Amino acid sequence: MNYLAVLISGSGTNLQAIIDAIESGRLPDTQISVVVSNRKAAYGLERARRHGIPTIYHPFLPYRKAGRTREEYDTDLAEMLSDYPIDLVVLAGWMHIFTMEFLRHYCRILNIHPALPGAFPGMHAIEEAYEAYQRGEISETGVMIHWAPDEAVDAGPVAACERVPIYPDDTLESLEERIHAVEHDLYVRTIAEVLGVPLKPETEQS
């Protein structure tokens, strides 16, 4: 059995895609051992609870108010996660940049970013790609899944990527919807590849 820790900050749609793949049998021999959020209101926590997955709420605000550092926050999070079996850490909308105090404990951390490698790092990648298309600078964007070996932002190394065309009649909302659909499938496929488990085609799901 392969065990995942999934870290979120928001609605958790990529988390749900992973849960669905596991429960349908498409992603076999895999279990989510814990879901972590830095935001109490993150709907991803409710998604986890509905499927009987343990959750951790670990906010940074109390650390900041107490004058404590991000390094201390990361050290404590790593200690919390030590109670769970973890073969792979999956960042699915986690809105913190880890310091080496966390990264030295976990060397297998995947992150997902809604842009092609080297393009539009940071939180507003889809909006920036859409605006760049409107200016005639690009004709496509994409989704990148990358390893998080250090403190760089959306820098790789790249584990997988898929191109997403931008169409003349696209709105920002339609582009976001198409990118998210690619994310949900690509993340599941990449996790299976990294773990070395045989991903079943969707038509063979039980």
CATH number at residue 20: 3.40.50.170
H helix intervals, 97-139: 100-103, 125-134
- What span, in angstroms and rounded, lies between the C-alpha atoms of 73 and 103? 12
Over the stretch 69-94, which tens digit does the pLDDT of each residue have? 999 999 999 999 999 999 999 999 99
Catalytic, out of 51, 96, 105, 113: 113
Six-digit token string for 116: 């092609």
**What is the structure's pLDDT at 203?**
57
Number of domains composing the chain: 1
- What span, in angstroms and rounded, lies between the C-alpha atoms of 195 and 206? 21
Q: Pick from 186, 138, 185: which is nearest to 166 by CA?
A: 138
Q: List, run by run, the mean pLDDT of 10-residue segments along the chain (206 residues).
A: 98 98 97 98 97 98 96 97 97 93 92 94 94 97 92 81 97 98 98 95 59
In which domain, by residue range, is 94 found? Answer: 2-204
Whether 58 is catalytic is no
Question: Has this prediction a pTM greater than 0.75?
Answer: yes
Q: Strands 88-91 and 158-165, how do they pair?
A: unpaired
Cα dihedral 14/15/18/19 (nearest 10)? -140
**What is the structure's pLDDT at 128?**
98
